[in-house]
Amino acid sequence: MAIHKTSLVTIAMERIKNHIVENKLKPNDKFLTEKELVEQLQVSRTVVREALISLQTVGILTIKPGGGVYIAEPTFDSIHTIVKHYYDTYGVKMKELMEIREVIELGALRLIIEKQVDVDTGHLHALNESYHEAILKKQDTKNSDRLFHQAIIKATNNETYFKFSEVISEYFALAIIDFLEKEDTLIDSYKQHEQIIDGIIQKDLPQAQRVLKEHFQPIFRFINTLEETNGTH
């Protein structure tokens, strides 16, 4: 069976990535030239060029016109580009997004409590009081709620985890869900925030995660109703 060009490009990409790892190349290090790669990989210049472009797209390499190929600086921009492209091409399943968000936040609580991170719970309380004030004044609560959940993930002291969660949050925002709740439901949400903070203070992971899952249930119910109305699954 003949090896298709796409297969050769994939193989070339894997060998290039292995070369980077084996030679312990770092961001901004200059990489091999197209000519050197053609000789080492024993493939055509076209295959090498497509492999390099693909690796640049996912943020592994940077191609400077007339200046060569370099190891790229770590960035989440490429992930955002890929996710945005997927959204534009295939749309999005809201339930799957919420499941990802739930997993991320449950994981954040685990990281905080198991690593015994010294969390600024006063800051969390202040953010939640801003949320409470927005509820009572019948203002838009979405931003206050987002800041509270964002602060929990930020509290993990894991910058990579936080940046990845922000990519998912941006993807979630692309769907533009206008999720409206009654005041009593929002007050329940405010109280659940307080219980989550208490779980963090007490280092009670089961409690914190249980309350968080309850906290997301109204959104899951809303999405289920939306999907049933639109006839999606």
Q: Both tokens of residue 64?
A: 């400077």
> Given pLDDT bands bounded at 50, 70 and 90, which one contains residue 176?
very low
Query: In terms of CATH architecture, what is 5-71?
Result: Orthogonal Bundle (1.10)
Q: What is the pTM of this model?
A: 0.62
**Cβ–Cβ < 8 Å for 12, 4:** no
Handedness of CA 157, 163, 168, 171 (dihedral sign): positive
Cβ contacts of residue 200 below 8 Å, gap of 6+?
Answer: 109, 112, 113, 119, 121, 124, 208
pLDDT for 29 equals: 92
> Given pLDDT bands bounded at 50, 70 and 90, which one contains residue 175?
low
How far is the C-alpha of 108 from the C-alpha of 209, rounded, in Å? 10
Q: Where in the chain is the domain with CATH 1.10.10.10?
A: 5-71
Share of the chain above pLDDT 90, in %: 46
Q: Which helix (H) or strand (E) holds 129?
A: helix 121-136
More confident residue, 163 or 211: 211
> Given pLDDT bands bounded at 50, 70 and 90, which one contains residue 75?
low
- CATH class (in words) of the domain with range 78-230: mainly alpha
Q: Where in the chain is the domain with CATH 1.20.120.530?
A: 78-230
More confident residue, 83 or 198: 198
